Structure 1
Amino acid sequence: MGTPKCKTIEDYLASLEPQKAATIRAIIEFVLTEFPELEAKLAWNVPVIHSKGKYVVGLAAYKRHLTFSPWSTWVMEDFKERLADFVVFKNCFQLPVDWEIDQGLLRDLVRARLAELL
């Protein structure tokens, strides 16, 4: 059973288990606080943070984990060593549902993606 079709990020978060919703909400809030020029929206039925329509961060919840995507294989490659403790794929990595946010990592990932978009 997948996530039901949602209209807003709040709908998406409401469809999740509380711990997953809390972690995703905390990531979104942190990124938007650190980078107030960015905006969050729902795209492909998952939360996405963007800059003038260009995707910066994508988040999704799955049965046993969350995923974080900087929408860039180059950023993922550049951060390979710092992501060594995570399950890493070509364009995203898995987070525990109860992940204690690594603010430095998130800040650096977003900065790297924004630099790539310039």
Structure 2
Amino acid sequence: MDTFVPFLAAIENDENRKRANEVLNWIQKTFPGLVPKIAWNQPMFTDHGTFIIGFSVSKQHLAVSPDVTGMSLFSEDIAKAGYSQTINLFRIKWEMAVDYALLEKIIQFNIDDKKDCKTFWKKV
């Protein structure tokens, strides 16, 4: 997945880089129809030109940004997984396990919810 090589190379901590790479590779394998891209210096995946999910990193966590609708719908599941959240994103601390089943539900919801969307961002 050459698209994300520069982003991943900028992550100083080797373990954090490895974890971010695992998550991005998992998405690519699980949802091969999604298009990987870098926008606003962040890795993200799109479907027919529409934003599906994006990521950012800090020293403490991997931030996952599905969008406001997905965050609202899955807020309880995100809290149950132990992740902190805002209206736009949730944070997976580097030492925490990634709940791939939850991530899969969120991504599939966004794909289905945005199947007729004609713009990059869904109008809410």
TM-score interval (norm. to shorter):
0.7 to 0.9
Alignment-derived partner of residue 3 in structure 1:
none
Alignment-derived partner of residue 118 in structure 2:
none
Specify the code of the residue in structure 2 equivalent to 1:115.
Answer: D
- Unaligned 5+ segments in structure 1 are 1-7
Alignment-derived partner of residue 58 in structure 1:
54
Offset, 1:81: 1.0
Alignment-derived partner of residue 31 in structure 2:
35
Does the CA-based 8 Å contact 1:20-1:98 persist in structure 2? no
- 1:90 counterpart SS class: coil
Q: TM-score, normalised by structure 2?
A: 0.82
Q: Which has the larger helix fraction?
A: 2
Alignment-derived partner of residue 15 in structure 1:
10
Aligned-partner Cα distance in 2 for 1:62–1:19: 13
- Unaligned 5+ segments in structure 2 are 116-124
Aligned length: 110
Specify the code of the residue in structure 1 equivalent to 2:8.
Answer: L
Question: RMSD across aligned C-alpha pairs, in angstroms?
Answer: 1.3
Specify the code of the residue in structure 2 equivalent to 1:60.
Answer: S
Alignment-derived partner of residue 20 in structure 2:
24
Q: TM-score, normalised by structure 1?
A: 0.86
Q: Deviations over 1:66-100 (max 9, x none)?
A: 10011x21111111111112111111001112442
2:63 equivalent among 62, 67, 73? 67
- 1:91 counterpart SS class: coil
Aligned-partner Cα distance in 1 for 2:62–2:76: 20
- 2:78 counterpart SS class: coil
Aligned-partner Cα distance in 2 for 1:73–1:9: 24
